[in-house]
Structure 1
Amino acid sequence: MDTLTGLLDGPKARGAFLLRSILTPPWSLRIEDRAPLSVVTMVRGDAWILPERGTPLLLHPGDVAIVRGPEPYTVADDPDTPVDVIVGPGQVCTKGGVDVSEVMSLGVRTWGQGREGDRASSVVLSGTYQAEHEIGQRLLGCLPALLVRPAGTGADDTLVHLLAAEIGRNEPGQELVLDRILDLLVVSVLRSWLAAPDSGAPAWYRAQHDQVVGPVLRLMHDDPATAWTVAELAQRVGVSRAGLARRFTALVGEPPMAYLAGWRLAVAADLLREPECTVAFAARKVGYSNAFALSAAFKRVRGVSPQEHRRLAATGSQPQAAGFSGPAETVILAG
């Protein structure tokens, strides 16, 4: 498994919340649902996306914005438009403290206060991953707070049109179809981001192209359960132990064994988000001798036990994992 596949294997929507909003200006939606990841794209009209911390950004039709949670953000026709509707946990929409989720329904996965044929109305598509285990902490930890891919700069334009066409349909298996389209759209945008020069992608991802460090990273990612040593890894790629240690540290930012330890815990953290995964099973999968050894390492590095980690992940209140944090600023992909 290459490092790109290992990273992008995360998005697996399961009953994601997808919605087409038809909104007549002035309008402003405050999103406080604490979702781990959301996608926003315009079908008609422009909209401003205002992160909780950061510079407001104008979205044009076809632009795709990926917003990393759980911090709130606002989508509006103008940065100065007062918030009209608040979208809370469970996608409950309130206006003046009153639940308007049903009142503003316009049909299948369609909502708002505009009219279908009104060209003055904005049409917004949104997709929300509602649980962190659908994304994976390894990926979330790498992402900027706001990532935007302008229209016409990637192959995912086709996916935006497909999502727009499918979101209002009510066919058998439609939820699964929409989940997979959302996954493909997210992966396509993230792949463009990771490949872009100076994108802020993590150092270990950029290092995969190195002829020495790249193969070592693939060995670690492909089989974290193996009892790797620097000497064995160096032998596999045909360099000296000291040479590998120096080169790996220079490119990745930490020594090989420190990186491997962090990677093992990141994989374990993702595994433990699955209710059926035991601590003992996760330990075996990532190279710890038993559940006690994994628990001790988990507590030492992350500050919580595996059980507490599972509870926090379920409530969406888990802090970001150390060692896999990404840029906090807005990133706009160039054409």
Structure 2
Amino acid sequence: MGCIAAVQCAITAILLVSTTVSSDDKTPIPADPSSLNAWFQANVKPLADRKGAIDPALEAAEAKQRTIKVRQDGSGEFKTLKDAINSIPTGNTERVIVDIGPGEYIEKLKIERGKPFVTFLGSPGNMPTLSFAGTAREYGTVYSATLEAEADYFVAANIIIKNSSPRPNGELKGEQAAALRIAGDKSAFYNCRLIGFQDTLCDDKGRHLFKDCYIEGTVDYIFGSGKSLYLGTELQVIADAKGNFITAQARTSEAEDTGFSFVHCKVGGTGKGAYLGRAWQPRPRVVFAYTTMSSAVSPEGWSNNSHPERDGTASFGEYKCDGEGANPCRPS
């Protein structure tokens, strides 16, 4: 595959907490990790520097910001996140920053498509936890997520999102349990932690950025049809007797402009023989670049998911990765 092109996948609009930014997708991500933050600051411009060059609706929304405080002790406007979300009108046209206080919020949450421009903001020193025990048995895999964000321009920063369902033991059907489903376009996650086992993150559809995040799981714990860049993110493999698969990207045809790019990431954990990805669908597209891989990664690297014919249609790639689990010579 064209590794460099995949690494430089375009994120048309990247959103930063309360300051909206847009990236110059023509500037390559640097190979030197010490240059990454400088690259980000130089190429992800504040709104003031991009006026007239971004979506008009986005520019208008950022000019009309408001903040809602959620505090479990009653010191904010709302005690629950669900009530805060319900207060945002359908057809929302302004940036609404939901300032979330510390604590564990045991709620199943959905930001519907008609409520764009929402930010979930926690404190990096005392990150709030969003938790729920939904499973595929009750809701279906995709809709089991603790947080479903269907609206465009969603941002989350300094948030822990967890599916608290018990670890699957293989004895019951429908044990898959997502923490997050992201299905809106032009969304971003900064310093977020996604906690689960099987199917932790449903990167369902749309263009997304995950920067400085932590994602853990066992099987297919990053899956879906999104077009996403994972930058400086840690992928933790939890050992599983059935085997470990990090990604299951769902691209089915050459016409689909989707794929996952992992750049300057780290792959580690207690699992052994973890596959970087498997061909869940006929034409998945996944690339790892400038990524450090521990011995948790299988020497084989990739799986055709027992479909030998997909060896010729899957686009799997590695570019200048290092660590005990890296292997530039393995087939992809």
- Aligning the two structures, in what range does the TM-score lie when normalised by the shorter sequence? under 0.3
Structure holding more strand per residue: 2
With normalisation by structure 1, the TM-score equals: 0.25
Higher helix share: 1
| Larger-gyration structure (1/2) | 1
* TM-score, normalization by structure 2: 0.26
- Structure number with the bigger relative contact order (C-alpha 8 A, sep ≥ 6) is 1
